[in-house]
Amino acid sequence: MNKSVIALVVVAVAAGGGLYYANMLAEDAIKQQIEQANQSYRDLADNGEMPQFSLAYKDVSANVLTSSYSISGLEVTMAELGNIATIDLITAKGVKPQSLADKASMQITGIKAAPAALQLLPPHVSAFVQSLALHGDYSYEYQANGQLLFSQQTRINDEFSLSYDFTLAQMQQFWQYAKEFSALPPEQQQALTVSEDYVQQVMAKLASGALSSGNITIENKGFIERAVAMAAEQGQAPDLKTIQGMALLNISMLEPLPQAMKDSLTTFVNNPEKLKLTFNFAEPLQFEKLATGEPMPGLETPEAMIEYANLQLTAN
């Protein structure tokens, strides 16, 4: 065999072995983080701050080459009840150990209530909840200009979804703080998150940012109707027609709302399929002003605010 070919084979084997070892280290790091979470739950339970919870899993996998990590067969256990929830699969991409990547995503598949939790519910509610599986998709991207793009979609079976996309501006201070926090050892992170100053520090950094644009979307494929019917059958809520009538009456009384937005709401109430709200502020809306309630000149009325935010509401 040619010496150069042998050299390439040796390099390939060495690289493969190194990658395998790196993956094992990453998997061990994930397992350690789960155990640290369990220890923190035990500590909080011992202090009487929460019930005793614990996490268990079937498998953990990592691929450092693609920055992809997954946890399968996750079980949430409560000491008094046993297994109360299961999650089929959690997959993360772009995540870095003790570092905050500028771009990452996560998928959570198959969140379901376990029999122990279902037993706490009335039979009709238990049967309804048992038919549900929640799924979530999350992603973010931090850009060099200080913008932070954040997206989330939460789904119930294939019957309902709530999603939103936000563009945040002037997030440099918040992102720097988040990066410094991510670089801390897990023990220091845990100690900081339970300290009195943590929330204040996060909110102070967040206050320097602003909301620029975004959208919120609801998509319904029979879930609303099914949930209302279940509640109505048990006498816990009016039937769908009654609820629709009440909603339409309330819409007609929303005087500041432009007629086009009223029409969209009316369309959705009569036929609840899809409702989308979009906004794009003329100038990014400062979180600090929102937190302090500081008045914004020219935005004293709902009509002015709708125009400033360029609010648009569309249905179906």
Tens digits of residue pLDDT in 242-267: 999 999 999 998 888 899 999 999 99
Distance from C-alpha of 72 to C-alpha of 27, rounded to nearest angstrom: 12
Quickly list DSSP for 243-301.
HHHHHHHHHHT-TTS-HHHHHHHHHHHHS-SEEEEEEEEEEEEEHHHHHHT---TT--S
Cβ proximity of 53 and 45 under 8 Å: yes
Instruction: Identify the pLDDT of residue 305.
Output: 85
Residue 218: band (very low, low, confident or very high) from pLDDT cuts 50, 70, 90: very high
Element (H, E) at 152: strand 148-156
Give pLDDT tens digits for 257-309: 899 999 999 999 999 999 999 999 988 988 888 777 666 666 777 888 888 88
- Tell me which of 22 and 64 has the higher pLDDT: 64
- Flag whether pLDDT at 167 surpasses 60: yes
Distance from C-alpha of 62 to C-alpha of 30, rounded to nearest angstrom: 9
Mean pLDDT, rounded, for 13-19: 43
Which residue stretches of the chain are H helix? 3-46, 115-118, 123-130, 172-182, 186-193, 197-206, 223-233, 240-252, 259-270, 287-292, 302-309
Reference 30, options 76, 83, 79, 91; nearest CA is 91
- Flag whether pLDDT at 7 surpasses 90: no
Distance from C-alpha of 306 to C-alpha of 288, rounded to nearest angstrom: 20
Residue 197: band (very low, low, confident or very high) from pLDDT cuts 50, 70, 90: confident
Q: What is the overall mean pLDDT for the chain?
A: 85
Instruction: Identify the pLDDT of residue 76.
Output: 92
Distance from C-alpha of 54 to C-alpha of 69, rounded to nearest angstrom: 21
Which residue stretches of 47-170 are H helix? 115-118, 123-130
Tokens 């988040």 belong to residue: 178
- Of the chain, the percentage scoring pLDDT greater than 70 comes to 90
Reference 215, options 178, 166, 174; nearest CA is 166
Q: 48 exposed, middle or buried (CB, 10 Å; 0-12, 13-18, 19+)?
A: exposed
Instruction: Identify the pLDDT of residue 194.
Output: 72
Mean pLDDT, rounded, for 116-141: 91
Instruction: Identify the pLDDT of residue 164.
Output: 95
As a dihedral over the C-alpha atoms of residue 146, residue 187, residue 88, residue 84, rounded to 10 degrees, the angle is -120
**Cβ-defined contacts of 19-23 (< 8 Å, 24+):** 19/64, 19/65, 22/64, 23/61, 23/62, 23/63, 23/64
In the chain, the amino acid numbered 93 is K
Mean pLDDT, rounded, for 26-34: 81
Distance from C-alpha of 4 to C-alpha of 11, rounded to nearest angstrom: 11
Q: 179 exposed, middle or buried (CB, 10 Å; 0-12, 13-18, 19+)?
A: middle
Instruction: Identify the pLDDT of residue 26.
Output: 76
Instruction: Identify the pLDDT of residue 16.
Output: 41
Name, in order, each residue with C-beta under 8 angstroms of 3's C-beta and a sequence gap of 6 or more. none
